């Protein structure tokens, strides 16, 4: 395969050169020198383009990125170094990256010249969205300055796997912790450190003064209050994914929304000392973390959310993906293998799509094993309501109302299967989940 | 990821050919080959007048560098932490200012610098002058040519050497630093032919005859004394053995073109040259493009010109042949359409994507069906929150209890029911309805009614949740 190919401009110029030489040879005009100059220029450009293409193919390319948090800038940088003595001009380039990423700074492509023994740097920024994204390589095509020759397309640099983690709402975590203190969740029916009143017993040496039961003291008896010891719960989060989880404006899709909520709740649960795990169910994909207590559990959940691969977990199609979605027994078996015991609290976040709801319906056997299933249905259509004017919101609502009604039907189906199901809108999901969590 | 190298030709044949042409032209530009076939006292000459034996003998004890460029040796020996002894034997061309500057630089920068000049001509005098020596070679050859010189040096070497074509060596200003070390007797008068001088720490030995170091002498049975003399002198000038290098002049000799030498057939010159060297030089000269490329191009040019002048039809033939060549070559070039690289097209997904995009860019067209949907939605919400529906005549009074004015509630109910009946075909009145305007108006009216109920159509609110509760309680969607 040749590395350099002629463009259609070449033939035109070659014919002009040939014509000028011919005119001189037959004695019509003294244009031979000009014709020869054109032909020699063409040859020179051919030689140059071949050399420059070889230099471009052997360029040293280094790619790097920084920025890991959703909503922040992910800065991607490529350094292309030409170690040869041949100047490389001109190279048209274009950065490869997933369609669902949004570039916030820089240009997707452009024209560059790389000096001999010199380097160029190319920097762009993306608005980070949760998950794993493959950015790069730089696609490059070389042309000579007159555009007579074009090199074959080269890929410069390697593909970078950029992982962006979801934002955790510290405010929400604090609110959840406060609520859990107030309600005294996770009761153990044993006296110890806690907030829930358990009983009154006689004072023993070493008891804290603040525990003294003043009403009893008033009656002349020195007694102290005992509180119920809190214990940790086992919570399995399930995130069901399909293409509808990408509906909505950038960074405001059900996927990002659910990831943020899960990260926040995982943070809260880890601080509470719960054993937590996360299972991602995509088209044909089941991927979960092991049950871990405290911070380790949170980190594992965060890592799995960070490695959500859009192509693999969400946009995957084909018979394999479909077959697995329909196979409920396999999913139940997988969940059972994840769980160290029965009676696990399961919190499911799913879009209101037929595919994911059918998968969740298959989880009914878990109920018989003592699992508590709580499903939150996100309505992807409602995520399109943001960034619209009031009248547009109303019109949009009318248009999607029938779709939303179908989501209600899905919720009813789940309920009829004995799965606690709540429909949630984008603007009040955290409070609904919080209420459910506190009731566990 | 780069494309597989195995499948592509990174350096095509045409490129190699072009590079070869560029290389030939570059060689041509550098001029004819400089072939050092010198018959003089040049270290590379192993003929009788060369100094190759001296070079070989010195190499037994020292590092010896034949100097073909003084400026180059200046760069090579920078920094110079060595003792350097420079030997100049009968140079044939003049020293340039640049050469002298380089020699002086070596004198100043090297640890020790010594100079041994053996010359019957005057070319070396510039070197002596530049380093500040008071000794000069007269250049006038003493008669008779063959003379016996008595040499006695301050470092203890003494002996007799046979001179051939010697010059007198003069002193400009006699002083204690200049010591005569060699004499010949001419008509019973001693004439100085060698001097030793210490010029501010630089030791200089000047002998008015270069022939004593030539191959023809050193190779003969009388070569023992000159060789001993030079060994002793170099050892003295070096000081310590092992940390001294010897520079032998090799740049001031006239080179000969081997073709010219052979063409002239001068047996005297041929006798002075080594035949093997001469043949090798000749081959190198013939292979070099400066020998054959210009005549070849000239010949081609001449031939074409003469053909064109010979027959006017030949011009046409050239055009036709040229055209045929182009026709054959051009189709071989794979031509491609020079299209731009496609950039990534960023996309947003929406539940009702196409509609939403249209809504944002052009606004939306509302239809009769949208009015029915609105009616259905509001009816569900009212049923869920108030227990009454739009069909219920009691609705205005129910709404009045939650803060909606009765008149407004009645107007709203009347409007919604009237147009719902029209939309569902239960009545044909009014005959002409602009559903877009009516639906927009209905949205505004609904917004006012729903606000006290905690729902809103135009803002994110609990509308969908209330509607779901309503549908759940009614048992259907």
Query: Would residue B316 count as lying in a domain?
Result: no
Same domain assignment for residues B61 and B194: yes
> Do the domain assignments include residue B337?
no
Do B360 and B248 lie in one domain? The reply is no
Minimum mean pLDDT range among A48-62, A298-312, B211-225, B269-283: B269-283
Answer for the pair B416, B442: CB distance below 8 angstroms, yes or no.
yes
Residues of chain A neighbouring B326 (CB-CB closer than 8 A): 14, 18
CB count, 10 Å around CB of B161?
Answer: 24
CB of B374 less than 8 A from some CB of A: yes
Of B237, B255, B273, at which residue does a domain stop? B255
The C-alpha atoms of residue B282 and residue B263 are separated, in whole angstroms, by 11
H or E stretch at A277: strand A275-282
Residue numbers in A near B460 (CB within 8 A): 382, 385-386, 393, 425-427
Question: Which residues, listed in sequence order, are joined to residue B9 by a DSSP beta bridge?
Answer: A2
Q: What letter does residue B334 receive in the DSSP assignment?
A: -
Beta-carbon separation of B360 and A405 below 8 A: no
Same domain, yes or no: B237 and B361: no
The residue from B255, B282, B305 where one domain ends is: B255
Q: What is the DSSP string of B355-370?
A: HHHHHHHH-----HHH
Contact B383, B375 (CB under 8 A): no
Q: Which residues of chain B from 387 to 446 reach within 8 Å of chain A, CB to CB?
A: 439-440, 443
**Residue B477 sits at the chain A interface (C-beta within 8 Å):** yes
Using the predicted structure, report yes or no on whether residue A247 has a pLDDT greater than 80.
yes
Task: Kindly report the CATH number assigned to the domain that includes residue B184.
Answer: 3.40.50
Does B245 share its domain with B357? no
Looking at beta carbons, which residues of chain B come within 8 Å of A27? 315
Residue B31 CB neighbour total at 10 angstroms = 9
Distance between CA atoms of B271 and B256, rounded to whole angstroms?
13
Residue of chain A whose Cα is closest to the Cα of B477:
A405
Sorted by sequence, the CB contacts under 8 Å of residue B297 that are 6+ apart come out as none
- Residue A286, strand partner residues: A281
Q: CA nearest A24 in B: which residue?
A: B315
Regarding whether B197 and B60 lie in a shared domain, the answer is yes
Q: Which two tokens stand for residue B206?
A: 């000047």
Rounded to the nearest 10 degrees, what angle do helices A328-338 and A354-361 cross at? Answer: 60
Residues spanned by the domain of B195: 52-255
B472 to chain A, any CB pair closer than 8 A? The answer is yes
Q: Is residue B283 part of a domain?
A: no
Q: Is residue B400 a part of any domain in this protein?
A: yes
Look at residue B287 and tell me if it is in a domain. no
**Alpha carbon distances (Å) from B221 to A103, B55, B152:** 91, 18, 21
Residue-range domains of chain A with CATH: 1-164 (2.60.40.10), 170-174+233-438 (3.40.50.410), 187-230 (no CATH)
Provide the number of structural domains found in chain B: 2
**Is residue B23 situated within a structural domain?**
no
pLDDT for A440: 60
Where is the domain boundary, B201, B222, B255? B255
Average pLDDT of every residue of chain B: 84
* Residue A324, token pair as written in the block: 């697995």
B3 touches chain A (CB under 8 A): yes
* Confidence bin at A326 (pLDDT 50/70/90): low
pLDDT digits 0-9 by tens, B275-303: 777 788 788 888 888 888 888 888 888 88
Q: Is A311 helix (H, G, I), strand (E, B) or coil?
A: helix
Q: What is the pLDDT of residue A142?
A: 94
Q: Edge-to-edge, what's the strand order for the sheet holding A102-105?
A: A60-66, A73-82, A118-127, A102-105
Half-sphere exposure of A175 (CA within 13 A, CB side): 13
* Of residues B298, B212, B210, B232, the one with CA closest to residue B85: B232
Name which of A46, A244, A428 is nearest B351 (Cβ-Cβ).
A244
Is A425 in contact with B350 (Cβ distance < 8 A)?
Answer: no
Name the residue with tokens 């001999």: A116
Looking at residue A184, its pLDDT comes to 44
Any residues with CB less than 8 A from the CB of A106 and at least 6 apart, and which? A122, A123, A124, A125
Distance separating alpha carbons of residues B124 and B252, to the nearest angstrom: 10
Contact status of B350 with chain A (Cβ, < 8 Å): yes
Tens digit of each residue's pLDDT, chain B (477 residues): 333 333 444 556 666 777 888 888 888 777 766 655 667 888 888 778 889 899 999 998 888 999 988 988 888 888 888 899 999 999 988 999 999 999 999 988 888 899 999 999 999 999 999 999 999 998 888 887 788 888 899 988 888 888 888 899 998 888 778 899 999 888 888 889 999 999 888 999 999 998 888 988 888 888 888 899 999 999 999 887 568 899 999 888 887 777 777 777 777 667 666 777 778 878 888 888 888 888 888 888 888 778 777 777 777 777 788 778 777 776 666 677 788 888 888 887 765 666 677 777 777 788 899 999 999 999 989 988 888 999 999 999 999 998 899 999 999 999 999 999 999 999 998 999 999 999 999 999 999 999 888 888 888 777 887 877 777 766 544
């Amino acid at each position: 395969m040749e590395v350099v190919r002629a463009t259609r401009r070449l033939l035109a110029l070659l014919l002009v050169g040939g014509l000028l030489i011919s005119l001189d040879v037959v004695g019509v005009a003294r244009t031979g020198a000009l014709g020869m100059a054109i032909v020699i220029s063409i040859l020179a450009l051919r030689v140059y383009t071949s050399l420059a293409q070889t230099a471009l193919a052997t360029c040293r390319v280094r790619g790097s990125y920084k920025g890991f948090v959703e909503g922040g800038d992910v800065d991607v940088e490529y350094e292309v170094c030409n170690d040869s003595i041949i100047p490389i001009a001109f190279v048209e380039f274009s950065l490869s990256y997933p369609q669902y990423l949004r570039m916030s700074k820089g240009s997707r492509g452009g024209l560059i010249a790389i000096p001999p023994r010199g380097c160029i740097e190319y920097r762009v920024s993306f608005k980070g969205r949760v998950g794993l994204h493959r950015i790069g390589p730089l696609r490059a095509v070389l042309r000579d300055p007159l555009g007579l020759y074009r090199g074959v397309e080269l890929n410069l640099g390697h593909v970078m796997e950029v992982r962006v983690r979801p934002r955790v709402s510290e405010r929400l975590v604090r609110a959840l912790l406060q609520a859990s203190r107030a309600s005294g969740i996770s009761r153990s029916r044993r006296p110890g450190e806690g907030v829930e009143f358990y009983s009154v017993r006689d004072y023993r040496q070493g008891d804290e003064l603040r525990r003294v039961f003043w009403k009893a003291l008033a009656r002349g008896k020195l007694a102290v209050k005992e509180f119920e010891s809190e214990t940790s719960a086992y919570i399995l989060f399930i995130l069901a994914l399909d293409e509808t989880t990408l509906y909505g404006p950038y960074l405001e899709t059900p996927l990002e929304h659910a990831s943020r909520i899960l990260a926040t709740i995982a943070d809260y649960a880890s601080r509470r000392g719960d054993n937590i795990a996360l299972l991602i169910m995509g088209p044909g994909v089941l991927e979960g973390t092991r049950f871990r207590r405290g911070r380790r559990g949170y980190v594992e959940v965060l890592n799995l959310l960070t490695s959500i691969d859009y192509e693999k977990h969400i946009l995957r199609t084909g018979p394999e993906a479909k077959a697995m979605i329909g196979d409920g027994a396999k999913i139940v078996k997988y969940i059972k293998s994840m769980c160290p015991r029965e009676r696990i609290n399961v919190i499911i976040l799913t879009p209101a799509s037929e595919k994911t709801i059918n998968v969740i319906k298959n989880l009914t056997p878990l109920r018989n094993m003592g699992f508590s299933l709580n499903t939150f249905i996100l309505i992807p259509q409602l995520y399109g309501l943001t960034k619209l004017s009031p009248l547009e919101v109303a019109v949009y609502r009318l248009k999607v109302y029938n779709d939303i009604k179908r989501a209600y039907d899905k919720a009813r189906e789940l309920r009829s299967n004995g799965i606690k199901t709540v429909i949630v809108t984008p603007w009040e999901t955290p409070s609904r989940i919080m209420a459910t969590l506190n009731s566990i | 990821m780069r494309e597989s190298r195995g499948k592509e030709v990174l350096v095509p044949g045409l490129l190699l050919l072009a590079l070869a042409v560029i290389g030939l032209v570059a060689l041509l530009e550098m001029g004819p080959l400089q072939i050092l076939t010198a018959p003089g006292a040049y270290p590379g000459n192993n003929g009788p007048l060369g100094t190759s034996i001296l070079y070989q003998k010195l190499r037994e004890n020292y590092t010896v560098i034949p100097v073909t460029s003084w400026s180059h040796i200046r760069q090579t020996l920078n920094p110079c932490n060595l003792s350097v002894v420079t030997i100049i034997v009968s140079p044939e061309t003049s020293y340039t200012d640049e050469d002298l500057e380089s020699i002086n630089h070596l004198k100043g920068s090297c640890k020790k610098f010594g100079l041994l000049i053996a010359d019957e001509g005057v070319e070396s005098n510039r070197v002596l002058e530049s380093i500040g020596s008071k000794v000069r070679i007269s250049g006038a050859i003493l008669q008779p040519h063959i003379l016996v010189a008595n040499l006695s040096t301050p470092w203890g070497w003494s002996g007799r050497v046979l001179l051939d074509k010697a010059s007198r060596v003069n002193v400009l200003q006699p002083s204690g630093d200049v010591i005569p070390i060699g004499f010949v007797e001419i008509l019973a008068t001693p004439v100085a032919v060698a001097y030793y001088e210490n010029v501010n720490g630089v030791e200089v030995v000047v002998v008015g005859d270069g022939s004593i170091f030539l191959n023809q002498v050193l190779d003969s049975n009388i070569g023992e004394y000159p060789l001993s003399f030079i060994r002793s002198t170099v050892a003295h000038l070096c000081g310590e053995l092992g940390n001294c290098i010897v520079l032998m002049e090799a740049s001031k000799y006239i080179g000969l073109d081997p073709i010219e030498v052979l063409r002239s057939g001068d047996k005297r010159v041929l006798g002075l040259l080594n035949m093997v060297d001469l043949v090798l030089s000749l081959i190198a000269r013939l292979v070099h493009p400066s020998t054959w490329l210009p005549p070849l191009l000239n010949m081609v040019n001449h031939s074409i010109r003469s053909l064109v002048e010979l027959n006017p039809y030949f011009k046409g033939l050239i055009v036709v042949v040229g055209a045929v060549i182009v026709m054959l070559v051009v189709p071989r070039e794979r031509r491609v359409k020079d299209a731009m690289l496609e950039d990534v097209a960023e996309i947003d997904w929406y539940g009702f994507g196409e509609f939403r995009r249209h809504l944002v860019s052009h606004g939306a067209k509302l239809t009769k069906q949208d009015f029915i949907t609105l009616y259905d939605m509001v009816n569900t919400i009212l049923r869920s929150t108030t227990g009454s529906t739009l069909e219920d005549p009691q609705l205005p009074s129910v709404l009045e209890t939650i803060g909606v004015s009765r008149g407004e509630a009645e107007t709203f109910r009347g409007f919604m029911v009237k147009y719902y009946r029209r939309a569902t075909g239960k009545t044909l009145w009014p005959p002409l309805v602009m559903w877009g305007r009516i639906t927009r108006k209905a949205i505004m009216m609904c917004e006012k009614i729903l606000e006290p109920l905690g729902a809103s159509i135009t803002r994110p609110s609990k509308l969908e949740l209330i509607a779901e509760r309503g549908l759940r309680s009614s048992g259907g969607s």
